[in-house]
Chain A
Amino acid sequence: MMIQIEQVGLTYQSPGGETEALRDLSFGIGQGEFVCLVGPSGCGKSSLLSILAGLERPTEGRVLLDGVPIEGPSPRVGYMLQKDHLFPWRTVWGNVTLGLELQHENTPERQARLRALLERYGLGEFLRSTPDQLSGGMRQRCALIRTLARDPDLLLLDEPFSALDYQTRLAVSADIHAIIRAEGKTALMVTHDISEAVALSDRIVVMTRRPGRVKSLHTLDSLWGLSPMERRDHPDFRLYFNDLWKELDVHV
Protein backbone atom coordinates (compact mmCIF):
# COMPACT_ATOMS: atom_id res chain seq x y z
CA MET A 1 0.00 0.00 0.00
CA MET A 2 1.27 3.43 -0.94
CA ILE A 3 -0.83 5.22 1.65
CA GLN A 4 -1.55 3.66 5.01
CA ILE A 5 -4.05 5.35 7.28
CA GLU A 6 -3.73 3.71 10.70
CA GLN A 7 -6.23 4.25 13.53
CA VAL A 8 -6.41 7.94 12.79
CA GLY A 9 -8.35 10.14 15.19
CA LEU A 10 -8.79 13.90 14.99
CA THR A 11 -10.36 16.17 17.59
CA TYR A 12 -10.74 19.91 17.11
CA GLN A 13 -10.68 22.31 20.05
CA SER A 14 -12.72 25.52 19.95
CA PRO A 15 -14.27 27.88 22.52
CA GLY A 16 -17.58 26.06 21.99
CA GLY A 17 -16.07 22.72 23.02
CA GLU A 18 -14.46 19.67 21.49
CA THR A 19 -15.40 18.27 18.08
CA GLU A 20 -14.35 14.74 17.26
CA ALA A 21 -14.04 14.71 13.47
CA LEU A 22 -12.40 11.31 12.96
CA ARG A 23 -12.15 8.21 15.17
CA ASP A 24 -10.15 5.04 14.64
CA LEU A 25 -10.10 5.45 10.87
CA SER A 26 -8.02 2.91 8.93
CA PHE A 27 -7.65 2.02 5.26
CA GLY A 28 -5.00 1.94 2.57
CA ILE A 29 -4.57 3.16 -0.99
CA GLY A 30 -2.51 1.22 -3.51
CA GLN A 31 -0.15 2.66 -6.08
CA GLY A 32 -2.12 3.94 -9.09
CA GLU A 33 -5.53 3.45 -7.46
CA PHE A 34 -8.40 5.91 -7.80
CA VAL A 35 -10.28 5.90 -4.50
CA CYS A 36 -13.42 7.89 -3.70
CA LEU A 37 -14.42 8.88 -0.21
CA VAL A 38 -18.15 9.31 0.35
CA GLY A 39 -20.11 9.97 3.49
CA PRO A 40 -22.66 12.27 5.10
CA SER A 41 -21.72 15.96 5.11
CA GLY A 42 -19.57 16.93 8.06
CA CYS A 43 -18.21 13.39 8.49
CA GLY A 44 -14.60 14.55 8.39
CA LYS A 45 -13.79 13.75 4.74
CA SER A 46 -12.06 17.07 4.19
CA SER A 47 -10.25 16.74 7.53
CA LEU A 48 -8.74 13.49 6.32
CA LEU A 49 -7.53 15.20 3.14
CA SER A 50 -5.96 17.94 5.27
CA ILE A 51 -4.07 15.30 7.24
CA LEU A 52 -2.88 13.58 4.05
CA ALA A 53 -1.81 16.95 2.64
CA GLY A 54 0.23 17.57 5.78
CA LEU A 55 -1.78 20.66 6.69
CA GLU A 56 -3.03 19.09 9.90
CA ARG A 57 -1.70 16.47 12.29
CA PRO A 58 -3.94 13.64 13.51
CA THR A 59 -4.48 13.65 17.28
CA GLU A 60 -4.43 9.82 17.27
CA GLY A 61 -2.79 7.25 14.99
CA ARG A 62 -0.64 7.98 11.97
CA VAL A 63 -0.60 8.29 8.20
CA LEU A 64 2.22 6.79 6.15
CA LEU A 65 3.28 7.58 2.59
CA ASP A 66 5.42 4.67 1.36
CA GLY A 67 6.11 3.82 4.98
CA VAL A 68 7.17 7.34 6.01
CA PRO A 69 4.90 9.40 8.29
CA ILE A 70 3.45 12.55 6.66
CA GLU A 71 4.55 15.51 8.75
CA GLY A 72 3.95 18.54 6.51
CA PRO A 73 3.20 19.64 2.97
CA SER A 74 5.28 17.58 0.55
CA PRO A 75 5.92 17.77 -3.20
CA ARG A 76 4.78 14.15 -3.42
CA VAL A 77 1.21 15.13 -2.53
CA GLY A 78 -0.90 17.49 -4.67
CA TYR A 79 -4.18 18.99 -3.51
CA MET A 80 -7.06 20.14 -5.70
CA LEU A 81 -9.69 22.25 -3.98
CA GLN A 82 -13.42 22.67 -4.58
CA LYS A 83 -13.00 25.71 -6.79
CA ASP A 84 -10.17 26.22 -9.25
CA HIS A 85 -8.96 29.35 -7.40
CA LEU A 86 -7.00 30.52 -10.42
CA PHE A 87 -5.60 33.99 -9.73
CA PRO A 88 -7.24 36.48 -12.11
CA TRP A 89 -4.14 38.71 -12.08
CA ARG A 90 -1.97 35.94 -13.49
CA THR A 91 -1.99 34.36 -16.94
CA VAL A 92 -2.62 30.63 -17.41
CA TRP A 93 1.14 30.16 -17.46
CA GLY A 94 1.58 32.30 -14.34
CA ASN A 95 -1.05 30.21 -12.57
CA VAL A 96 0.32 26.78 -13.44
CA THR A 97 3.88 27.79 -12.51
CA LEU A 98 2.80 29.27 -9.14
CA GLY A 99 3.92 26.19 -7.18
CA LEU A 100 7.30 26.08 -8.91
CA GLU A 101 7.79 29.79 -8.29
CA LEU A 102 7.02 29.41 -4.57
CA GLN A 103 9.52 26.55 -4.27
CA HIS A 104 12.15 28.26 -6.44
CA GLU A 105 11.97 25.27 -8.79
CA ASN A 106 11.14 27.20 -11.95
CA THR A 107 13.76 25.28 -13.92
CA PRO A 108 13.78 24.80 -17.73
CA GLU A 109 13.09 21.07 -17.30
CA ARG A 110 10.04 21.69 -15.11
CA GLN A 111 8.82 24.36 -17.50
CA ALA A 112 9.22 22.08 -20.49
CA ARG A 113 7.22 19.39 -18.68
CA LEU A 114 4.46 21.85 -17.83
CA ARG A 115 4.36 23.16 -21.38
CA ALA A 116 3.99 19.58 -22.62
CA LEU A 117 1.12 18.98 -20.15
CA LEU A 118 -0.66 22.14 -21.28
CA GLU A 119 -0.20 21.14 -24.95
CA ARG A 120 -1.42 17.61 -24.32
CA TYR A 121 -4.57 18.76 -22.55
CA GLY A 122 -5.65 21.49 -24.94
CA LEU A 123 -4.30 24.58 -23.19
CA GLY A 124 -1.23 25.03 -25.37
CA GLU A 125 -2.63 28.10 -27.12
CA PHE A 126 -3.79 29.75 -23.92
CA LEU A 127 -0.52 30.25 -22.03
CA ARG A 128 -0.87 34.03 -22.19
CA SER A 129 -4.64 34.12 -21.65
CA THR A 130 -6.14 35.15 -18.33
CA PRO A 131 -8.35 32.67 -16.45
CA ASP A 132 -11.55 34.62 -17.26
CA GLN A 133 -10.98 33.81 -20.93
CA LEU A 134 -11.20 30.05 -20.25
CA SER A 135 -14.28 27.82 -20.11
CA GLY A 136 -15.20 26.05 -16.86
CA GLY A 137 -13.64 22.80 -18.06
CA MET A 138 -10.45 24.50 -19.18
CA ARG A 139 -10.15 26.28 -15.83
CA GLN A 140 -10.44 22.94 -14.05
CA ARG A 141 -7.76 21.41 -16.28
CA CYS A 142 -5.58 24.42 -15.63
CA ALA A 143 -6.03 23.93 -11.86
CA LEU A 144 -5.15 20.24 -12.22
CA ILE A 145 -2.00 21.05 -14.19
CA ARG A 146 -1.03 23.58 -11.48
CA THR A 147 -1.34 20.67 -9.02
CA LEU A 148 0.72 18.42 -11.32
CA ALA A 149 3.53 20.99 -11.71
CA ARG A 150 5.74 19.47 -9.05
CA ASP A 151 4.98 15.94 -10.26
CA PRO A 152 3.22 14.59 -7.16
CA ASP A 153 2.54 10.86 -6.80
CA LEU A 154 -0.68 11.26 -4.85
CA LEU A 155 -3.50 13.63 -5.78
CA LEU A 156 -6.09 14.70 -3.24
CA LEU A 157 -9.30 16.01 -4.77
CA ASP A 158 -11.81 17.77 -2.52
CA GLU A 159 -15.11 17.79 -4.43
CA PRO A 160 -13.31 19.35 -7.39
CA PHE A 161 -16.41 19.46 -9.61
CA SER A 162 -19.00 20.69 -7.12
CA ALA A 163 -18.91 24.26 -8.45
CA LEU A 164 -19.80 23.15 -12.01
CA ASP A 165 -23.26 22.67 -13.54
CA TYR A 166 -24.41 19.09 -14.20
CA GLN A 167 -23.43 18.73 -17.87
CA THR A 168 -20.06 20.42 -17.51
CA ARG A 169 -19.50 18.30 -14.46
CA LEU A 170 -19.97 15.01 -16.37
CA ALA A 171 -17.57 16.12 -19.11
CA VAL A 172 -14.97 17.65 -16.80
CA SER A 173 -14.90 14.75 -14.36
CA ALA A 174 -14.31 12.29 -17.23
CA ASP A 175 -11.64 14.63 -18.54
CA ILE A 176 -9.81 14.97 -15.23
CA HIS A 177 -10.12 11.24 -14.60
CA ALA A 178 -8.48 10.51 -17.97
CA ILE A 179 -5.61 12.91 -17.24
CA ILE A 180 -4.97 11.37 -13.81
CA ARG A 181 -4.97 7.87 -15.37
CA ALA A 182 -2.73 8.92 -18.27
CA GLU A 183 -0.20 10.51 -15.94
CA GLY A 184 -0.21 7.40 -13.75
CA LYS A 185 -1.18 9.18 -10.54
CA THR A 186 -2.75 7.77 -7.42
CA ALA A 187 -5.89 9.68 -6.40
CA LEU A 188 -8.14 10.09 -3.40
CA MET A 189 -11.27 12.07 -4.15
CA VAL A 190 -13.91 13.34 -1.76
CA THR A 191 -17.39 13.61 -3.23
CA HIS A 192 -20.98 13.51 -2.06
CA ASP A 193 -22.22 12.52 -5.52
CA ILE A 194 -22.70 8.73 -5.49
CA SER A 195 -22.90 8.38 -9.27
CA GLU A 196 -19.70 10.36 -9.67
CA ALA A 197 -17.98 8.02 -7.21
CA VAL A 198 -19.18 4.92 -9.10
CA ALA A 199 -18.23 6.44 -12.46
CA LEU A 200 -14.68 7.33 -11.45
CA SER A 201 -13.26 5.05 -8.78
CA ASP A 202 -11.58 1.68 -8.48
CA ARG A 203 -12.66 1.53 -4.89
CA ILE A 204 -15.08 3.49 -2.72
CA VAL A 205 -14.70 4.13 1.00
CA VAL A 206 -17.97 4.91 2.78
CA MET A 207 -17.58 6.85 6.00
CA THR A 208 -19.94 6.99 8.96
CA ARG A 209 -21.48 10.07 10.48
CA ARG A 210 -19.19 12.18 12.70
CA PRO A 211 -16.89 11.03 14.26
CA GLY A 212 -15.98 9.59 10.87
CA ARG A 213 -14.70 6.06 10.51
CA VAL A 214 -14.86 3.49 7.73
CA LYS A 215 -18.36 2.05 7.37
CA SER A 216 -17.67 -0.12 4.33
CA LEU A 217 -15.33 -0.59 1.38
CA HIS A 218 -16.60 -1.26 -2.15
CA THR A 219 -14.44 -2.59 -4.95
CA LEU A 220 -16.01 -1.97 -8.36
CA ASP A 221 -14.62 -5.11 -10.01
CA SER A 222 -17.03 -5.42 -12.94
CA LEU A 223 -16.46 -1.81 -14.02
CA TRP A 224 -12.70 -2.01 -13.93
CA GLY A 225 -10.92 -0.56 -16.97
CA LEU A 226 -13.99 1.27 -18.31
CA SER A 227 -14.16 5.02 -18.86
CA PRO A 228 -16.58 7.06 -16.72
CA MET A 229 -19.03 7.41 -19.65
CA GLU A 230 -18.94 3.65 -20.39
CA ARG A 231 -19.48 2.94 -16.72
CA ARG A 232 -22.59 5.09 -16.60
CA ASP A 233 -24.06 2.92 -19.39
CA HIS A 234 -23.04 -0.40 -17.81
CA PRO A 235 -25.85 -2.55 -16.27
CA ASP A 236 -23.91 -2.93 -12.99
CA PHE A 237 -23.72 0.84 -12.52
CA ARG A 238 -27.23 0.87 -10.96
CA LEU A 239 -26.37 -2.04 -8.65
CA TYR A 240 -23.34 -0.28 -7.19
CA PHE A 241 -25.29 2.96 -7.01
CA ASN A 242 -28.14 1.31 -5.09
CA ASP A 243 -25.71 -0.46 -2.73
CA LEU A 244 -24.08 2.83 -1.88
CA TRP A 245 -27.41 4.62 -1.57
CA LYS A 246 -28.53 2.09 1.07
CA GLU A 247 -25.15 2.23 2.75
CA LEU A 248 -25.27 6.00 3.04
CA ASP A 249 -28.77 5.77 4.48
CA VAL A 250 -29.83 9.14 3.15
CA HIS A 251 -32.60 10.82 5.10
CA VAL A 252 -34.21 13.95 3.77
Chain B
Amino acid sequence: MSEPMHHPSPARLRWLQREKRTLQAVWGLRAALLVGFFLLWELAARLGWIDPFIFSSPCRIWATLLRMGRSGELLLHTGTSVLETVVGFTLGTLAGTLAATLLWWSPFLSRILDPYLVVLNALPKTALGPIFIVWMGAGVGSIIAMTLAISLIVTILDMHQAFRSVEAEKLRLMQTLGATRLQTFLKLVLPSGFGAMINALKVNVGLSWVGVIMGEFLVSRAGLGYLIVYGSQVFQMDLVMTTVLILAAAAALMYQGILQLEKLLKKHIGVTV
Protein backbone atom coordinates (compact mmCIF):
# COMPACT_ATOMS: atom_id res chain seq x y z
CA MET B 1 0.00 0.00 0.00
CA SER B 2 1.45 3.35 -1.01
CA GLU B 3 1.52 6.11 1.56
CA PRO B 4 -0.56 9.20 0.90
CA MET B 5 1.33 12.19 -0.50
CA HIS B 6 2.18 14.83 2.10
CA HIS B 7 5.00 17.15 3.03
CA PRO B 8 7.88 15.31 4.71
CA SER B 9 8.50 16.27 8.33
CA PRO B 10 11.65 18.22 9.33
CA ALA B 11 13.05 15.05 10.96
CA ARG B 12 12.52 13.19 7.70
CA LEU B 13 14.26 15.96 5.75
CA ARG B 14 17.23 15.88 8.14
CA TRP B 15 17.43 12.12 7.79
CA LEU B 16 17.31 12.34 3.98
CA GLN B 17 20.02 15.01 4.07
CA ARG B 18 22.25 12.85 6.26
CA GLU B 19 21.61 9.83 4.06
CA LYS B 20 22.59 11.85 0.98
CA ARG B 21 25.84 13.01 2.61
CA THR B 22 26.73 9.42 3.55
CA LEU B 23 26.14 8.30 -0.02
CA GLN B 24 28.32 11.10 -1.36
CA ALA B 25 31.07 10.19 1.09
CA VAL B 26 30.96 6.54 0.06
CA TRP B 27 31.25 7.35 -3.65
CA GLY B 28 33.89 10.00 -3.04
CA LEU B 29 36.08 7.67 -1.00
CA ARG B 30 35.63 4.87 -3.50
CA ALA B 31 36.91 7.12 -6.29
CA ALA B 32 39.72 8.46 -4.09
CA LEU B 33 40.86 4.92 -3.29
CA LEU B 34 41.11 4.03 -6.98
CA VAL B 35 42.81 7.27 -8.04
CA GLY B 36 45.12 7.13 -5.01
CA PHE B 37 46.17 3.58 -5.80
CA PHE B 38 47.11 4.42 -9.39
CA LEU B 39 48.83 7.68 -8.38
CA LEU B 40 50.91 5.92 -5.75
CA TRP B 41 51.78 3.17 -8.22
CA GLU B 42 52.86 5.72 -10.84
CA LEU B 43 54.81 7.72 -8.30
CA ALA B 44 56.57 4.62 -6.95
CA ALA B 45 57.58 3.63 -10.47
CA ARG B 46 58.86 7.14 -11.37
CA LEU B 47 60.79 7.62 -8.13
CA GLY B 48 62.39 4.20 -8.53
CA TRP B 49 60.85 2.64 -5.38
CA ILE B 50 59.74 -0.25 -7.59
CA ASP B 51 61.18 -1.48 -10.88
CA PRO B 52 58.68 -0.54 -13.64
CA PHE B 53 60.09 -3.33 -15.80
CA ILE B 54 58.72 -5.88 -13.30
CA PHE B 55 55.81 -3.95 -11.76
CA SER B 56 54.84 -1.83 -14.79
CA SER B 57 53.06 1.48 -14.12
CA PRO B 58 49.71 3.11 -14.94
CA CYS B 59 51.25 5.26 -17.72
CA ARG B 60 52.92 2.25 -19.32
CA ILE B 61 49.64 0.32 -19.04
CA TRP B 62 47.77 3.20 -20.69
CA ALA B 63 50.31 3.26 -23.54
CA THR B 64 50.00 -0.52 -23.95
CA LEU B 65 46.24 -0.25 -23.99
CA LEU B 66 46.33 2.41 -26.75
CA ARG B 67 48.80 0.37 -28.80
CA MET B 68 46.62 -2.76 -28.44
CA GLY B 69 43.52 -0.81 -29.37
CA ARG B 70 45.15 0.53 -32.54
CA SER B 71 46.51 -2.84 -33.63
CA GLY B 72 43.20 -4.57 -33.07
CA GLU B 73 44.73 -6.93 -30.48
CA LEU B 74 42.48 -5.52 -27.75
CA LEU B 75 39.31 -6.46 -29.62
CA LEU B 76 40.65 -9.85 -30.75
CA HIS B 77 41.80 -11.10 -27.35
CA THR B 78 39.02 -9.58 -25.26
CA GLY B 79 36.42 -10.71 -27.80
CA THR B 80 37.80 -14.26 -27.83
CA SER B 81 37.70 -14.60 -24.04
CA VAL B 82 34.32 -12.94 -23.66
CA LEU B 83 32.85 -15.18 -26.35
CA GLU B 84 34.31 -18.30 -24.73
CA THR B 85 32.98 -17.23 -21.35
CA VAL B 86 29.51 -16.47 -22.68
CA VAL B 87 29.37 -19.84 -24.48
CA GLY B 88 30.68 -21.71 -21.41
CA PHE B 89 28.36 -19.83 -19.06
CA THR B 90 25.30 -20.42 -21.24
CA LEU B 91 26.04 -24.11 -21.76
CA GLY B 92 26.87 -24.59 -18.07
CA THR B 93 23.71 -22.84 -16.92
CA LEU B 94 21.44 -24.69 -19.34
CA ALA B 95 22.97 -28.12 -18.76
CA GLY B 96 23.21 -27.53 -15.00
CA THR B 97 19.59 -26.40 -14.73
CA LEU B 98 18.45 -29.33 -16.84
CA ALA B 99 20.38 -31.82 -14.69
CA ALA B 100 19.09 -30.21 -11.48
CA THR B 101 15.55 -30.45 -12.85
CA LEU B 102 16.02 -34.18 -13.49
CA LEU B 103 17.39 -34.67 -9.97
CA TRP B 104 14.40 -32.79 -8.51
CA TRP B 105 12.03 -34.77 -10.70
CA SER B 106 13.39 -38.11 -9.56
CA PRO B 107 14.53 -38.25 -5.93
CA PHE B 108 15.52 -41.85 -6.67
CA LEU B 109 17.97 -40.73 -9.36
CA SER B 110 19.22 -38.03 -6.99
CA ARG B 111 19.91 -40.67 -4.33
CA ILE B 112 21.84 -42.83 -6.80
CA LEU B 113 23.97 -39.98 -8.13
CA ASP B 114 24.61 -38.21 -4.83
CA PRO B 115 28.06 -39.72 -4.00
CA TYR B 116 29.28 -39.10 -7.57
CA LEU B 117 28.29 -35.46 -7.41
CA VAL B 118 30.04 -35.10 -4.07
CA VAL B 119 33.28 -36.61 -5.44
CA LEU B 120 33.13 -34.57 -8.66
CA ASN B 121 32.50 -31.42 -6.65
CA ALA B 122 35.51 -32.10 -4.41
CA LEU B 123 37.84 -32.88 -7.33
CA PRO B 124 40.07 -29.96 -8.40
CA LYS B 125 38.77 -29.66 -11.96
CA THR B 126 41.97 -28.05 -13.30
CA ALA B 127 43.52 -31.51 -13.02
CA LEU B 128 41.33 -32.50 -15.95
CA GLY B 129 42.88 -29.89 -18.28
CA PRO B 130 45.56 -32.11 -19.84
CA ILE B 131 42.96 -34.83 -20.41
CA PHE B 132 40.74 -32.42 -22.35
CA ILE B 133 43.73 -31.38 -24.49
CA VAL B 134 44.42 -35.01 -25.41
CA TRP B 135 40.76 -35.67 -26.18
CA MET B 136 39.82 -32.47 -27.95
CA GLY B 137 43.07 -30.99 -29.17
CA ALA B 138 44.57 -27.62 -28.34
CA GLY B 139 41.62 -25.44 -29.32
CA VAL B 140 38.43 -23.75 -28.26
CA GLY B 141 36.81 -27.15 -27.54
CA SER B 142 39.23 -27.79 -24.68
CA ILE B 143 38.67 -24.31 -23.24
CA ILE B 144 34.88 -24.73 -23.24
CA ALA B 145 35.30 -28.21 -21.71
CA MET B 146 37.48 -26.72 -18.96
CA THR B 147 34.86 -24.03 -18.29
CA LEU B 148 32.08 -26.60 -18.06
CA ALA B 149 34.18 -28.85 -15.81
CA ILE B 150 34.61 -25.98 -13.38
CA SER B 151 31.08 -24.54 -13.40
CA LEU B 152 28.74 -27.43 -14.17
CA ILE B 153 28.79 -29.44 -10.94
CA VAL B 154 28.43 -26.36 -8.75
CA THR B 155 25.52 -25.20 -10.91
CA ILE B 156 23.80 -28.58 -10.59
CA LEU B 157 24.24 -28.66 -6.82
CA ASP B 158 23.15 -25.03 -6.30
CA MET B 159 20.11 -25.29 -8.57
CA HIS B 160 19.05 -28.60 -7.06
CA GLN B 161 19.33 -27.06 -3.60
CA ALA B 162 17.23 -24.13 -4.80
CA PHE B 163 14.54 -26.46 -6.12
CA ARG B 164 14.51 -28.54 -2.97
CA SER B 165 14.22 -25.57 -0.63
CA VAL B 166 10.53 -25.12 -1.51
CA GLU B 167 8.41 -25.49 1.63
CA ALA B 168 6.86 -28.95 2.01
CA GLU B 169 3.51 -27.37 2.87
CA LYS B 170 3.47 -25.47 -0.42
CA LEU B 171 4.10 -28.74 -2.29
CA ARG B 172 1.19 -30.20 -0.33
CA LEU B 173 -1.01 -27.29 -1.37
CA MET B 174 -0.23 -28.03 -5.01
CA GLN B 175 -1.10 -31.70 -4.39
CA THR B 176 -4.45 -30.83 -2.83
CA LEU B 177 -5.23 -28.68 -5.89
CA GLY B 178 -4.52 -31.73 -8.03
CA ALA B 179 -1.35 -30.36 -9.71
CA THR B 180 0.78 -32.65 -11.87
CA ARG B 181 4.50 -32.83 -11.20
CA LEU B 182 5.19 -30.64 -14.25
CA GLN B 183 2.67 -28.04 -13.06
CA THR B 184 4.21 -28.08 -9.59
CA PHE B 185 7.63 -27.48 -11.13
CA LEU B 186 6.56 -24.66 -13.46
CA LYS B 187 4.13 -22.85 -11.20
CA LEU B 188 5.72 -23.32 -7.78
CA VAL B 189 9.30 -24.62 -7.79
CA LEU B 190 10.71 -22.39 -10.54
CA PRO B 191 9.25 -19.09 -9.31
CA SER B 192 9.99 -19.77 -5.64
CA GLY B 193 13.54 -20.91 -6.41
CA PHE B 194 14.14 -17.77 -8.45
CA GLY B 195 16.35 -15.94 -5.94
CA ALA B 196 18.58 -18.96 -5.38
CA MET B 197 18.76 -19.53 -9.14
CA ILE B 198 19.98 -15.98 -9.76
CA ASN B 199 22.60 -16.49 -7.05
CA ALA B 200 23.71 -19.67 -8.81
CA LEU B 201 24.06 -17.66 -12.03
CA LYS B 202 26.21 -15.07 -10.24
CA VAL B 203 28.54 -17.77 -8.96
CA ASN B 204 28.50 -19.42 -12.36
CA VAL B 205 29.60 -16.32 -14.28
CA GLY B 206 32.67 -16.02 -12.02
CA LEU B 207 33.49 -19.71 -12.37
CA SER B 208 33.14 -19.51 -16.15
CA TRP B 209 35.86 -16.85 -16.20
CA VAL B 210 38.09 -19.07 -14.08
CA GLY B 211 37.50 -21.92 -16.52
CA VAL B 212 38.23 -19.81 -19.60
CA ILE B 213 41.45 -18.32 -18.19
CA MET B 214 42.62 -21.75 -16.99
CA GLY B 215 41.85 -23.19 -20.41
CA GLU B 216 43.66 -20.38 -22.19
CA PHE B 217 46.71 -20.81 -19.96
CA LEU B 218 46.90 -24.38 -21.17
CA VAL B 219 46.11 -24.31 -24.85
CA SER B 220 45.19 -21.11 -26.60
CA ARG B 221 46.61 -18.85 -29.29
CA ALA B 222 44.29 -15.96 -28.45
CA GLY B 223 42.43 -14.58 -25.49
CA LEU B 224 43.23 -12.73 -22.28
CA GLY B 225 44.58 -15.85 -20.57
CA TYR B 226 46.89 -16.40 -23.52
CA LEU B 227 48.15 -12.80 -23.31
CA ILE B 228 48.95 -13.18 -19.60
CA VAL B 229 50.93 -16.39 -20.14
CA TYR B 230 52.64 -15.05 -23.25
CA GLY B 231 53.47 -11.72 -21.59
CA SER B 232 55.01 -13.34 -18.55
CA GLN B 233 57.05 -15.76 -20.65
CA VAL B 234 58.62 -12.95 -22.71
CA PHE B 235 58.81 -10.75 -19.59
CA GLN B 236 56.50 -8.06 -20.93
CA MET B 237 54.93 -7.15 -17.60
CA ASP B 238 53.19 -4.10 -19.14
CA LEU B 239 51.21 -6.50 -21.30
CA VAL B 240 50.42 -8.80 -18.35
CA MET B 241 49.22 -5.98 -16.08
CA THR B 242 47.16 -4.39 -18.87
CA THR B 243 45.51 -7.72 -19.59
CA VAL B 244 44.69 -8.29 -15.92
CA LEU B 245 42.98 -4.89 -15.79
CA ILE B 246 41.01 -5.61 -18.97
CA LEU B 247 40.01 -8.94 -17.47
CA ALA B 248 38.79 -7.28 -14.27
CA ALA B 249 36.71 -4.82 -16.32
CA ALA B 250 35.23 -7.52 -18.57
CA ALA B 251 34.32 -9.79 -15.62
CA ALA B 252 32.75 -6.88 -13.73
CA LEU B 253 30.70 -5.87 -16.78
CA MET B 254 29.45 -9.39 -17.25
CA TYR B 255 28.47 -9.57 -13.58
CA GLN B 256 26.57 -6.31 -14.03
CA GLY B 257 24.83 -7.95 -16.97
CA ILE B 258 23.53 -10.68 -14.64
CA LEU B 259 22.30 -8.04 -12.19
CA GLN B 260 20.42 -6.33 -15.02
CA LEU B 261 18.98 -9.68 -16.12
CA GLU B 262 17.83 -10.27 -12.54
CA LYS B 263 16.05 -6.88 -12.49
CA LEU B 264 14.43 -7.58 -15.83
CA LEU B 265 13.20 -11.03 -14.82
CA LYS B 266 11.93 -9.76 -11.47
CA LYS B 267 9.93 -7.09 -13.22
CA HIS B 268 8.70 -9.54 -15.82
CA ILE B 269 7.46 -12.28 -13.51
CA GLY B 270 6.86 -10.01 -10.54
CA VAL B 271 9.00 -12.00 -8.10
CA THR B 272 9.93 -9.97 -5.05
CA VAL B 273 12.59 -12.00 -3.27
Contacts and interface: CB of A to CB of B under 8 A. Distances in A.
Given A88-B272, A89-B271, A102 B172 contact: no
Contact of B187 (A78, A79, A98): A98
A85 B187 contact: no
A98 B177 CA distance: 8
Given A99-B178, A103-B178, A85 B173 contact: yes
Nearest to A79: B176
Nearest to B272: A88
Interface in A44-94: 53, 55, 73, 75, 78-79, 81-83, 85, 87-90
B231 interface: no
Contacts of B176: 53, 55, 73, 78-79, 81
Contacts of A99: 177-178
B177 A89 contact: no
Q: Which of A55, A78, A83, A85 has the most CB of B within 10 A?
A: A85
A90 B187 CA distance: 10
A130 B266 CA distance: 14
Contacts of B22: none
Nearest to B270: A89
A73 B169 CA distance: 16
A83 B169 contact: yes
A55 B191 CA distance: 24
A81 B175 contact: no
B272 A89 contact: yes
B170 interface: yes
A102 B173 contact: no
B169 A89 contact: no
Dominant secondary structure of chain A at its interface with chain B:
loop
A133 interface: yes
B1 interface: yes
A98 B178 CA distance: 10
Contacts of A75: 178
A89 B269 contact: yes
> For the side of the interface on A, what is the size category?
20 to 34
A66 B167 CA distance: 33
Interface residues of B, number: 24
A128 to B, nearest CB: 11
Nearest to A149: B177
A81 B174 CA distance: 11
Contacts of A89: 191-192, 194, 269-272
Contact of B188 (A55, A82, A87, A132): A87
A79 B179 CA distance: 13
A83 B173 CA distance: 10
Interface string A115-137: 00000000000000010110000
Q: Which of B174, B177, B192, B269 has the most CB of A within 10 A?
A: B177
B183 interface: yes
Nearest to A90: B270
Interface string A87-117: 1111000000011011100000000000000
Contacts of A90: 270
Contacts of A88: 271-273
A73 B175 contact: yes
A102 B179 contact: yes
A150 B178 CA distance: 11
Interface in B157-216: 167, 169-170, 172-180, 183, 187-188, 191-192, 194
A15 to B, nearest CB: 13
20 contacts: A55-B175, A73-B175, A73-B176, A73-B178, A78-B176, A79-B173, A81-B169, A81-B172, A82-B169, A87-B191, A88-B271, A88-B272, A89-B191, A99-B178, A102-B174, A102-B177, A102-B180, A103-B178, A130-B270, A133-B1
Given A73-B176, A81-B173, A90-B270, 18 more contacts: A53-B176, A79-B173, A81-B176, A85-B170, A87-B191, A87-B192, A88-B272, A89-B192, A98-B177, A99-B178, A102-B174, A102-B177, A102-B178, A102-B180, A102-B183, A102-B187, A103-B178, A130-B272
Interface of B: 1, 167, 169-170, 172-180, 183, 187-188, 191-192, 194, 269-273
The 6 A-B pairs at the shortest CB distance, nearest first, are namely: A79-B176, A99-B177, A89-B271, A73-B178, A102-B179, A89-B191
